[in-house]
Structure 1
Amino acid sequence: MRFLFVYPGALGDLLLAAPVFKTIQKVYPGAQIGLAGRLPYTKILPLLGLVDIIYSMEERRFLPLFKGDGLPEDLHQFFASFDAIIFWISNFYSDIRFFPIPVKIVNPRAVVHPAEHHAQYLYHSVQSFLKLPEQNVSGFYLDNFSAEHLQPVPLLLVHPGSGSQTKNWPLENFLKLAEKWQIKYHGRAVFLFGPAEESLLKIFQKETRDQNVRVVHSTDFEKIIKLLQSADFYLGNDSGISHLSGLLNKRGLIFFRTTEPQIWQPLGRRLISVKVE
């Protein structure tokens, strides 16, 4: 069978859908899962074995979905090549009567559901439609990626950024924690800056110009995955990289400022969420 998910979410949003993708692979052996979403975030899902093929939502063929018109022939044929389509999208204007196969439309915004973990909400939103078993996904992680490749010296990985400045714990707090960790465990700390965090990196470099601080700035998801696998402990905000650390079942602390951990806590079993000012 072939399934298509249309989900233009950010990195963390996509990773919280991991239990859905993995359960489909178990329930429908040999199924192909396609994902239409936002680059570069979607690129990480094939690396994690969660989807088989990705499509960019910026492709012109997807524009009719947001205009409320009928489907042009090329888009009609594209959708007809799948057995089912799930739209996790809040601004969907097309009439589902135009679609040649079963379609499920779900508003993926957290405001539409009560204080339920968002990964659980996404799972429940398609469970009946896809005939998936009932399960609690809160402790879900990718066991085939959770093996640690530890270094001779203990490694602390710190990701002080996120998709919103309001979610970021102050840089000086991360620096103080990193210094204490290095002294206590005789280890080393690495500060990671991912995609779209150039401005935060400049501020960080200015604040630490007189310090010997190790920094990695990378948009290469394969490199980021390997770096996380090498870490003994992780510190971060409510961010996509933190959600990735949860899927890899890392140990660590996640600091929540403006978002609620009961809804956005990363998956996995070894991360602790802390609500801070």
Structure 2
Amino acid sequence: MDRDALVLRNRSMTAAFHATPLKHQIRRALLTTLASLPHLPARHAAQQRILLIRPDHLGDVLLTTPAIRALRAALPNAELHALVGPWSARVLSSYSEIDTVLTLPFPGFSREPNESLRSPYQMAFGAARHLRRIAYNAVIIFRPDHWWGAMVAHLANIPERIGYNLPDTAPFLTRAIEHTHEHAVIQNLRLVEHWSGPLVPENVHFEYPINHADRLYVDGYLTEWGITPQQPIFCIHAGSGTWVKQWPEEHWSAVADILFEQLDARVVFTGGEHELGTIKRITSRMKQPSCIIAGETHIGQLAALYARARVVLGPDSGPLHLASAVGTPTVTLYGPADPLEFGPWGSQDEHLILASDIGCRPCRVLDWADDSPEYHPCLRDITVAQVLEAARRAAR
């Protein structure tokens, strides 16, 4: 199939993917009905108490933190509670702006199948009962399409419910903000403008706090691998949540070898325990030595490692946002996601983006299910030479 035909094929499939299927249309009608039913009067907290709902994983949660900091600056005496998945609890626990971190295994985000069609709704009613007892004055649903979180907030009788004006979420909200494809940091800031007022993007800082113990852990680990503080470290996070965002493993092997040979870099591979197989396949193809720290760090230790690195490279994923949050230059490879919306926050001179010019991207489809990878070349289009050139530029 030639490239033009491939683009037409993928655009057609993308349109079908983003169309609203009949079962979702039925669900939307039922949700609208549920939102219109009378419910118990709201309980008001004696002290201003605001709930922040963010069901996602590392990257999306990090991109929410500038809005959280803006909200804290505007409301220094309010209680700010975050409701996140257990997979993200440690991320927000590091921020002093959050008073309490609550966890919930949000349906659709736990990467486990639902027990039944009823189980997400049963969980919603249970979560709403718990939140109702705490009593919140307001709630912000940060994920644009998170109708489930908006429904929980409605069932919990939280008086002020803020989110985006999308068909499934809007019926449950008291203030629905128009959703545009701005950068995610800007989108999140718009949700708190009611309290903070408009913020100038150039004045918005993106940071992750690192403690001394985590720095010491990383120093000790690197010393065990024979890496001294004077040697430049380049970190590669090769894994991603889906195959459509994966760069060929042999390309990473080549990049790591050349960084060692030409820049005298010490290459450190990071990742979760489930990504260890990928990393070992990459390192097995290498001619030069490397360090593997996959599966041996929690979020704070990973942040401390990235803070020591000269550059962090990888496909679009949460750890690349963590690197930018600790002030380390990045080289990020983008496939189906739109970097204008989900790119690294910071200077374009320090955070370099590589993407294919194929006409069907960004498709915003992260799960092509059983479709063959050969029909989705957007990551494979990026060359080893492009990544190396970007790494050299970022390291200057």
AA in 1 matched with 2:83? A
- For residue 140 of structure 1, what is the amino acid of its counterpart? H
Q: How far did residue 227 of structure 1 move?
A: 0.7
Which of residues 133, 137, 149 in structure 2 aligns to 1:83?
A: 137
- The CA distance in 1 between the partners of 2:267 and 2:229, in whole Å, is 12
Change (3 A) 1:246 1:55: same
Corresponding residue for 1:190?
A: 268
Inter-CA distance 26–99: structure 2 relative to 1 (3 Å threshold): same
Name which of 126, 133, 136 aligns with 2:198: 133
Task: Find the partner of 1:237 among 302, 308, 315.
Answer: 315
Q: Which runs of 5+ in 2 are unaligned?
A: 1-47, 107-119, 169-177, 220-227, 357-377, 379-396
Cα RMSD of the aligned pairs, angstroms, is: 3.3
Letter in 2 for 1:206: R
Q: Distance in 2 between matches of 1:217 and 1:173?
A: 19
CA contact (8 A) 1:120 1:137 kept: no
Aligned to 2:294: 217
1:46-65 deviation per Cα after TM superposition (whole angstroms, max 9, x unaligned) = 22445332111139xx9667
More helix per residue: 2
Answer 1 or 2: which has greater strand percent. 1
In the TM superposition, residue 207 of structure 1 has moved relative to its aligned partner by: 4.4
TM-score (normalizing by structure 1):
0.81
- Listed as ranges, the gaps of 5+ residues in structure 1 are none
Q: Deviations over 1:5-61 (max 9, x none)?
A: 1111111111111110111122222443211111122311222445332111139xx
Indicate whether 1:272 and 2:352 are aligned.
Answer: yes
- On the 8 A contact 1:159/1:235 being kept in 2, the answer is yes
Q: Residues 208 and 322 of structure 2 are in contact (CA less than 8 Å); yes or no, is this contact kept in structure 1? A: no
How many Å separate the matches in 1 of 2:206 and 2:158? 35
Q: 1:161 aligns with which of 239, 242, 257?
A: 239
Q: Give 2:277's aligned residue.
A: 202
Moved more, 225-234 or 97-106: 97-106
Aligned CA distance change for structure 1 residues 140 and 250 (closer, same or farther; 3 Å): same
Q: Could you tell which deviates more after superposition, 4-13 or 150-159?
A: 150-159
The 2-side partners of 1:75 and 1:45 are apart by 19
CA contact (8 A) 1:157 1:190 kept: yes
Structure 1: distance between partners of 2:131 and 2:209? 36
Aligned counterparts of 1:94 and 1:187: Cα–Cα separation in 2: 50
CA distance change for structure 1 residues 36 and 70 in 2, over 3 Å: closer, same or farther? Answer: closer
Identity of counterpart residues, as a percentage? Answer: 20
By how many angstroms is 1:90 displaced? 2.8
Task: Give 1:38's aligned residue.
Answer: 85
CA distance, structure 2, for counterparts of residue 186 and residue 95 of structure 1:
53
User: What's the counterpart of residue 102 of structure 2?
Assistant: 55
Q: For residue 99 of structure 1, what is the amino acid of its counterpart?
A: N
Shift of the 33–187 alpha-carbon distance from structure 1 to 2, 3 Å rule, reads same
Deviation (angstroms), 1:161: 1.1
Distance 1:18 1:107, change over 3 A: farther
Which protein shows a greater Rg?
2
Correspondence for 2:74 among 27, 32, 35: 27
Q: What secondary structure sits across from 2:293 in the alignment? A: strand
Provide the C-alpha distance between the structure 2 equivalents of 1:95 and 1:186, rounded to a whole number of angstroms: 53
Counterpart of 2:124, as a letter, is F
Aligned in 2, Cα 1:34/1:233: closer, same or farther, shift over 3 Å?
same
Q: CA deviation at 1:139?
A: 6.1
* Structure 1 CA distance for aligned equivalents of residues 84 and 341 of structure 2: 22
What amino acid is aligned across from residue 13 of structure 1 in structure 2? D
Aligned to 1:170: 248
C-alpha distance in 1, partners of 2:161/2:235?
Answer: 41
Deviation at 1:157, TM superposition (A): 0.7
Aligned residues: 265
**Once the 2 structures are TM-superposed, how far is the Cα of residue 159 of structure 1 from its aligned partner?**
0.5
Equivalent-residue separation in structure 2 for 1:63 and 1:177 (angstroms): 47
Q: Find the aligned partners of 2:58 and 2:64 in 1 and give their Cα distance.
A: 10
1:118 maps to which residue? 184
Which residue identity does 1:160 align to in structure 2?
A
Looking at structure 2, the residues matched to 54 and 202 of structure 1 have their Cα atoms a distance apart, in angstroms, of: 33
Is 2:181 aligned against 1:104? no
